[in-house]
Amino acid sequence: MNILVTGGAGYVGSIVAEELLRQGYQVIVLDNLQQGHKGAVAPGAEFIFADVCNAEALDGVFQRARIDAVMHMAAETVVEYSMTDPKRYFHNNIVGGIELLDAMLKHEVYKLVFSSSAAVYGDPQSIPVDEDHPKLPVNSYGESKLMFERILEWYGKAYGLKHISLRYFNAAGASESLGEDHRPETHLIPSVLKAALSKNSPVSIFGTDYPTKDGTCVRDYIHVTDLAIAHILALKRLEKDGSSCIYNLGNGNGFSVKEVIEVAKKVTGCNIKTVSASRRPGDPAVLIASSEKIKRELNWNPQYYELKTIIESAWKWHSKSPEGFKKRNSFTGKN
Ligand SMILES: NC(=O)c1ccc[n+]([C@@H]2O[C@H](COP(=O)([O-])OP(=O)(O)OC[C@H]3O[C@@H](n4cnc5c(N)ncnc54)[C@H](O)[C@@H]3O)[C@@H](O)[C@H]2O)c1
């Protein structure tokens, strides 16, 4: 089967592509490299430098090869910036998403796995958060993900699109050869590990006055390989009975920023300096998932449930690649 992975040069997409190849699928990665890296494209995948907002380019992609299903990960992803520049988020995540769906329908491709987010829930009213929890996003990033989930429902009803939305909590960790390299890095674990590598630069703790056990935000970290395996289980479900669905993906355990830093100190053996900073707009205090539904229905069985092992895998990759995907992208001239 031929799977198109949009955003496949990014963090999660590259490791999903790697896992798809490992399980015998053929993979086409489509990415505009605004955040991803050519060097992150899984060996064995075909790479297409294109933008999901470009209908003509998408048409060309679907014309060239018979695509059986799409995994849609390309997106604007930084919560903080989505508070100040929502139009960028709605353009890429909604307009780009619709262009993709329309190209799929035109070329009679009816299976889609969509990277949604815990950000659709906003500030949780109860913990753990299951899929029926009220959806009240507090940032335009989460709003764009929720809007696209709803668009998928309508495309399902009207045009027969079969879709599974996976609402990830915090992806973390690395595979043997691929890891997380965002520029700028806004995610906690890679920021902490970069601070450990640099020895001097401190890691910022955004908000120390949240209503949590130590005043810092609490998040649920899920290993990126467990996430990748969930995508393939979702794809198999679409192949089997074609029923559309939504699943949370998390570990069910919450760790505060300070707890993550303490575990990272033990894993790296480095004294990681910290500096307190003000809260980032759009950050809920606590996000912890219930992923019982995907465990029950798709037999998803995460292998990395301890924070220590998740951070160890990330540390292994960061130590091996201290400058991330260093080689310059020949397409963009950027790293
Ligand atoms: N990382 C997480 O913890 C997390 C949590 C929840 C949801 N998600 C979702 O998972 C997906 C992947 O996240 P990630 O952390 O790997 O992000 P990422 O930024 O590393 O990857 C996104 C990729 O999409 C590409 N891209 C962006 N806009 C594009 C466009 N218009 N056309 C073509 N390519 C484009 C980028 O260049 C990048 O390679 C995103 O949809 C994100 O919203 C991620």
We report the CATH number of the domain holding residue 145 as 3.40.50.720
Q: Is the pLDDT of residue 331 over 80?
A: no
- Distance from Cα 73 to the centre of ligand 1, integer Å: 5
Assign 305 a pLDDT band (cuts: 50, 70, 90). confident
Task: Judge whether 257 lies within some domain.
Answer: no
User: Is residue 141 annotated as part of the catalytic site, yes or no?
Assistant: yes
Domain of residue 160, residue span:
2-173+221-250
Q: Which two tokens stand for residue 227?
A: 């996430």
Using left for φ > 0, alpha for ψ between -120 and 50, and beta otherwise, residue 24 falls in left
Query: How far apart (Å, rounded) are the C-alpha atoms in residues 17 and 112?
Result: 15
Using left for φ > 0, alpha for ψ between -120 and 50, and beta otherwise, residue 146 falls in alpha
β partners of residue 3: 27, 69
Nearest CA to ligand 1 atom 11: 73
Question: Which pLDDT score is estimated for 332?
Answer: 61
Question: Among positive and negative, which fits the CA dihedral 219, 192, 174, 86?
Answer: positive
Task: Judge whether 61 lies within some domain.
Answer: yes
Task: Judge whether 180 lies within some domain.
Answer: no
Average pLDDT, the chain: 94
Task: Judge whether 206 lies within some domain.
Answer: no
- Distance from Cα 93 to the centre of ligand 1, integer Å: 10
Which strand (E) or helix (H) includes residue 111? strand 111-117
Task: Judge whether 188 lies within some domain.
Answer: no
- Distance from Cα 76 to the centre of ligand 1, integer Å: 6
CB atoms under 10 Å from CB of 320, counted, come to 11
Question: Measured at the alpha carbon of residue 34, what is the angle toward residues 282 and 203, in degrees to the nearest 5?
Answer: 50
Q: pLDDT, tens digit, for every residue of 75-131? A: 999 888 888 999 999 999 999 999 999 999 999 999 999 999 999 999 999 999 999
Instruction: From the candidates 89, 141, 155, 221, give the one annotated as an active-site residue.
Output: 141
Number of domain units in the chain = 1
Task: Judge whether 327 lies within some domain.
Answer: no
Task: Judge whether 212 lies within some domain.
Answer: no
Q: What is the pTM of this model?
A: 0.95
Nearest CA to ligand 1 atom 32: 51
Question: Which pLDDT score is estimated for 330?
Answer: 59
Task: Judge whether 124 lies within some domain.
Answer: yes
Strands 255-256 and 170-172: unpaired
Q: Where are the alpha helices (DSSP H) in the chain?
A: 11-22, 55-64, 79-84, 86-90, 97-106, 140-159, 188-198, 224-240, 257-268, 292-298, 307-320
Contact (Cβ atoms closer than 8 angstroms) between residue 116 and residue 145: yes
Q: Which two tokens stand for residue 204?
A: 């910022």
Q: Which two tokens stand for residue 251?
A: 């570990």
